[in-house]
Chain A
Amino acid sequence: MSDDIFITEETIHGDDDGPLAGTTVAVKDNISTEGVRTTCGSKMLAEYVPPYDATVVSRLKEAGATIVGKANMDEFGMGSTTETSHFGSTENPAAPGHVPGGSSGGSAAAVAAGEADVALGSDTGGSIRCPAAFCGVVGIKPTYGLVSRYGLVAYGNSLEQIGPFGETVEDAAALLDVISGHDERDATTHEVPIEDDASYADAATGDVDGLSIGVPTELLEGADEGVVETFWGAIADLEDRGAESHEVSLPSVEHAVEAYYVIAMSEASSNLARFDGVRYGHSSDAEGNWNERFAQTRKEGFGDEVKRRILLGTYALSAGYHDKYYKKAQDARAWVKQDFDEALSEADVLASPTMPVPPFELGESLDDPLQMYLADANTVPVNLADLPAISVPAGETDGLPVGLQLVGPAFGEERLIRAASALA
């Protein structure tokens, strides 16, 4: 069962003691590990061994954690099913015959299958929350700038964050305690003092008395009926414990998927330009000048979904189209941020189903990329707004896991952890 969760099974021991001593961790295979290959689920990097550790990996080692392997993922994080991996798909341990979600599907599956106590994933447009929801575990997408990205192989660098998975909110929060905080190697990180020197794990009290929950109506539209029903059941649970809920509106989110894909693909077209076979990674042995060699290397090394996104991103940034696509998407991003600010002035947290649908069957969505992109409708707005969010199990529909997403204000992770810990 576990043989499809990891791309590379390798034990990396941390320090003898520390807050995570005795804790096993699965690490998504786009997070650099010194001396252990880091493939990003791609043929391009199938044999690439980084000479350095990502900051989060150094912090795991210092905290005494034991890394048990590099988890499977959609190629370069581009997918919501883990099926675009060059190394094959991963079956969902919580829903056999179904995908684990993606792109951090291997990380979520490792926790769901008990292969690791906790896991690290990365979330550019939902890549932690989607697999957490599909595999019935907890996943946190931190505020942009809370966790260092140094060593995370970039896909959409203005959008993504590394974040934790756990079986419980407290487990995930304890991992967040270790990886968060300023890093001199990532200029976008902040030192965020949390109240009373408390830890994120300490915030997992389950106390939701007086919590005000806003439910954006737009994020329920078009969602699967069983998913919506399970969602309201979880909200009712929270209300039983003293929370209240009311409807709020996020009118801009109808443009969020378009804006997200334009920005993520544009950034990807630039971030993935470095894979040319000169310094590392796959290198074509085809004849030709440097330009032809670069092209052939990229043709051989990248899969279809990656090529699709690089081409679309290149197009969106090109002279004559830049204003029509990239600039407009940036305008939409600003609008989405503003909408969240307003909604969060009317509620402590915002709640929605994490995914509008239950897990896909293996192979079901591969042929229709657009359908797959639309499944990200509830998660991508959060990345556009740089906000923190958590996905926590809400129950099941037809035996398939359903996740509840809570979104909070920037650097409001404690609030999300406190609220979500009432459910898991």
Chain B
Amino acid sequence: MTAQTVQQGDLVTVIGLEVHVQLETDTKIFCGCSTDRTDEPNENVCPVCLGLPGALPVLNEAAVEGAVKIGKAIDADIPEETRFHRKNYYYPDLPKNFQITQYDEPICQEGELEVSVEGDRRTVAIERAHLEEDPGSLQHVGGGGGIDSAEYTLVDYNRAGTPLMEIVTAPDFRSPSEVRAFLAKLEEVLEYLGVFDAERDGSLRIDANLSIIPEEEIESGDVTDIGAEALAAANRTEVKNISSHKGAEKALAYEETRQKNAIQRGRAVEQETRHWDESRGITVSMRSKEEEKDYRYFEEADLPPLQVAHWKDEISIPELPSARRERFQDEYGLNEEAASKLTSTKQVADFYEDVASEFDPDLAATWVADNLLGELNYRDMAITDLEGRFEEVTRLVELVAEEEITAKNARETVLRSMLDDEKAPDAIVEDEGLGKTDEDEVQQAVVAAIDENPDAVDDYASGDDGAINFLVGQVMQKTGGSADPGDVNQLLRAELEG
């Protein structure tokens, strides 16, 4: 191949994803061992997840339930019957040296997820999503740190058998930022469904396929419509070891640049698997196509085919963010921005609806979307950090709604102190003396100020109107600043004139 100069603009990036998410279940997918994280290696293990001779898998229905929820959320086809296969390969983290997974009859097929990318709504096709078991984890000690260069390797099977859902997208992404937006959206949906915990280390793992295709290969001129032939003709790299949506964007941006540079210099892009090295910010070659594995898939006879059709009808899923966002606009009259903020996580949305059910929805929106999320964001805190304190926030909104304290004091003093000092709102109001003073108290302060300052009274009587300001100041001091200065002015005049 002769070197050929190609303009950067003539190249189109095509990306498809395989996303592994750990499903949140109490026990593992094929045995009763706990999925809780523990520091003690090989603690949550039994004959089944250790692959001891003679042990047999039994499917955890909670994992199937999670998979059906995901299927419904991505609007996938859930078949009448689904089945498990064995994927055969040798690796020290794999207790049986085969992985129980799904092959040609996955639990979810042909779904989609709508994503907003820089204001544009895009639909990403999801080819399939299937259930499988997670392998154990390896710790390489000494040497170069890899399995082939370490002095020795330790194996921990606590993770082995954790239920995984592998979600495979069509090659529908045209940029790393689209991938990031999709993954953020996917995480949001999964958390809404209550099947996934993003905080959990290793709960999200991504393999991404990236190819660069000359623009003229695109058939219809529509950048989202790339022919299978053009795709097959281009060499692709599979990038492994990505563990977050931010990491995905970085890894793919690196890989995109690497491939475009190669093409511009007239070099061929190797079809290969590459490893994303997060700390160095680069991808490194792992193996070339020649070494691609033959997994010898065949049916797992120990698990009978599973009839899932009725599960689909029996399992309900919560309202998803996009539907909830629209309902918030209709039902509470919110603008799109506020509705989006209030549906950013399920907890925020649930909390908003709690508050809006008791108080004015606009006031609730201001308090939850602007004040609360704003102050949390400023402190790098999340709504989850307020676990167990939602009643306190509701009480604060109540104090404002009933005009017990001013909105300004509520926001600037009470809320901040609640977050910084972890104090309850009533305690803060009392300690800081922020309660709006009642009229009797103001009246008493007015009388006292007149009694205690005969000189000022005389000055006022002799026509010095400025003396009234001195007296207002005295009353304000007595009421700790909680009285309204205008009201005080009028009360003083009434008392002096009377």
Contacts and interface: CB of A to CB of B under 8 A. Distances in A.
Interface of A: 30-32, 38, 40, 45, 48, 50-52, 54, 149-154, 157-158, 184-188, 266-267, 269-270, 273-276, 278-280, 289-291, 294, 314, 317-319, 322, 326
Contact residues of B: prevailing secondary structure:
loop
Given A51-B52, A150-B55, A187-B56, 16 more contacts: A31-B54, A38-B53, A50-B52, A52-B52, A157-B302, A188-B301, A267-B298, A270-B296, A273-B96, A274-B97, A279-B51, A279-B52, A290-B92, A317-B298, A319-B296, A322-B298
Contact of A318 (B57, B296, B301, B304): B296
Contacts of A279: 50-52, 95
Interface stretch (B147-155, B245-253, B282-290): B147-155
A294 B57 CA distance: 24
Scoring B47, B53, B86, B95 by chain A CB atoms within 10 A of each residue's CB, the highest score goes to: B53
Nearest to A320: B294
Nearest to B88: A270
- For chain B, the bracket of interface size reads 20 to 34
Contact of A273 (B47, B55, B97): B97
A184 B147 CA distance: 38
B302 A187 contact: yes
B317 interface: no
B303 interface: yes
A278 B155 contact: yes
Interface string B92-119: 1001111000000000000000000000
A318 B294 contact: yes
Contacts of A275: 53
B53 A153 contact: yes
Contacts of B296: 269-270, 314, 317-319, 322
B399 to A, nearest CB: 56
A48 B52 CA distance: 10
Contacts of B92: 276, 278, 290
Contact of B298 (A184, A290, A326): A326
Interface of B: 47, 50-59, 86, 88, 90, 92, 95-98, 147-148, 153, 155, 294, 296, 298-299, 301-304
B472 to A, nearest CB: 81
A45 B51 CA distance: 14
A50 B98 CA distance: 21
Counting chain A CB atoms within 10 Å of each CB, the highest count among B51, B55, B299 belongs to B55
22 contacts: A51-B52, A150-B55, A154-B53, A157-B301, A158-B299, A158-B301, A185-B58, A187-B304, A273-B98, A274-B51, A274-B53, A274-B95, A274-B96, A275-B53, A276-B90, A276-B97, A289-B147, A289-B148, A294-B90, A318-B296, A319-B296, A326-B298
Contacts of A289: 147-148
Contacts of B98: 270, 273
Contacts of B301: 157-158, 188, 267
Contacts of A187: 56-59, 302-304
